C-alpha cells in the first residue's frame, strides 16, 4: 500500500500544529487532531475546580487525563487550573506520549505533569493511585456509522478513533475499572458522540455512577 501523498494529509498534519483552547499544539499522525468539542471538558473542569478548592484547602487536586494523545487536555488543565492540581496523563501509545511531552515542554514547563504509558487503568504505576477528577477522551467512533466520513479520518490513528461494541467497548471497560481509582465524591468527564450518550449513562448508573449533566459531547458523572 502506497503512503499517502502530502496533499492528502489534513492541514493540521501538514502544518504540524493545531489550536486547542487558544493554544498551539504540536500534532503528527501519531495523535488525533484536537477537536473544539473536547474543549467542553476544560470548561466543566474549571467550574468544578472551585468546588474542589473548598474540599481540599490544604491539598492538591488529583487529576487524570486518560488517553492523553497530544496532551492537549492535561496541559490545558495544568495551565487553566494552576498549581493546585497534580496531573497525570496516560496513553497506551509511546509515540503519543512523546508528542505530549514535547507540547508540555513548549507550553507548560513550569507545571508538573506525570506522563505514563498505560492501557486504560491497567498500568503498574496507576495501581494505587486515586483521583478527584478523571478526564477521558477515549476511542468511541463506530466504524459502521453510515454518516461517517472515512476519508476525512483516514490519516489519524485508528486506535485512537475506533472501538468495538458500537464504539462503546473501551468506555464501558474504563467505567468498570475506575471505581478503585476514584476518591470520595470524584468526578468523571467523558467525551462521546451524543448518539451514544443514553447507552453510556444507563450503563454508568448500573455501576452506581451519578449522571450530573451532559454538555455538547461531554458526559459529567460523579461517584
For residue 58, what pLDDT is reported? Answer: 63
Instruction: Provide φ and ψ at 185, rounded to 5°.
Output: 60, 35
Low-confidence ranges of the chain (pLDDT < 70): 1-7, 53-58
Quote the cell numbers at residue 18: 493545531
For residue 4, what pLDDT is reported? Answer: 47
Domain presence at residue 94: yes
Domain presence at residue 1: no
For residue 34, what pLDDT is reported? Answer: 98
Domain presence at residue 163: yes
Distance, CA of 197 to CA of 178 (rounded, Å): 18
Instruction: Provide φ and ψ at 61, rounded to 5°.
Output: -95, 125
Domain presence at residue 211: yes
For residue 123, what pLDDT is reported? Answer: 86
The pTM of the whole model exceeds 0.85: yes
Distance, CA of 182 to CA of 130 (rounded, Å): 5
Dump pLDDT digits (tens) for 6-32. Answer: 448 899 999 999 999 999 999 999 999
Domain presence at residue 124: yes
For residue 54, what pLDDT is reported? Answer: 65
Quote the cell numbers at residue 38: 473536547
Domain presence at residue 177: yes
Cα separation values, 128 from 121, 178, 179, Å: 10, 12, 12
Distance, CA of 186 to CA of 134 (rounded, Å): 8
Q: How many domains is the chain built from?
A: 1
Domain presence at residue 89: yes
For residue 28, what pLDDT is reported? Answer: 97
* Domain span including residue 70: 6-222
CATH no. for residue 87?
Answer: 3.40.50.150
Dump pLDDT digits (tens) for 37-71. Answer: 999 999 999 999 877 766 656 678 999 999 999 99
Domain presence at residue 34: yes
Amino acid at each position: 500500500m502506497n503512503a499517502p501523498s502530502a496533499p492528502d494529509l489534513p492541514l493540521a498534519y501538514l502544518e504540524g500544529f493545531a489550536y486547542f483552547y487558544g493554544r498551539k499544539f504540536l500534532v503528527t499522525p501519531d495523535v488525533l487532531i484536537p477537536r473544539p468539542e473536547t474543549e467542553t471538558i476544560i470548561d466543566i473542569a474549571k467550574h468544578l475546580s472551585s468546588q474542589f478548592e473548598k474540599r481540599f484547602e490544604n491539598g492538591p487536586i488529583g487529576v487524570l487525563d486518560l488517553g492523553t494523545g497530544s496532551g492537549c487536555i492535561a496541559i490545558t488543565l495544568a495551565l487553566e487550573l494552576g498549581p493546585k492540581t497534580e496531573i497525570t496523563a496516560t496513553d497506551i501509545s509511546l509515540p503519543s506520549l512523546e508528542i505530549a511531552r514535547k507540547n508540555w515542554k513548549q507550553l507548560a514547563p513550569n507545571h508538573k505533569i506525570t506522563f505514563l504509558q498505560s492501557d486504560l487503568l491497567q498500568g503498574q504505576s496507576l495501581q494505587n493511585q486515586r483521583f478527584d477528577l478523571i478526564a477521558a477522551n477515549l476511542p468511541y467512533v463506530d466504524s459502521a456509522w453510515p454518516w461517517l466520513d472515512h476519508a476525512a479520518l483516514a490519516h489519524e490513528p485508528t486506535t485512537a478513533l475506533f472501538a468495538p461494541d458500537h464504539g462503546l467497548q473501551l468506555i464501558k471497560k474504563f467505567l468498570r475499572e475506575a471505581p478503585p481509582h476514584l476518591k470520595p465524591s470524584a468526578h468523571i468527564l467523558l467525551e462521546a458522540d451524543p448518539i451514544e450518550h443514553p447507552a453510556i449513562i444507563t450503563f454508568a448508573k448500573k455501576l452506581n455512577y451519578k449522571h450530573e449533566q451532559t454538555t455538547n459531547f461531554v458526559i459529567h458523572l460523579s461517584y
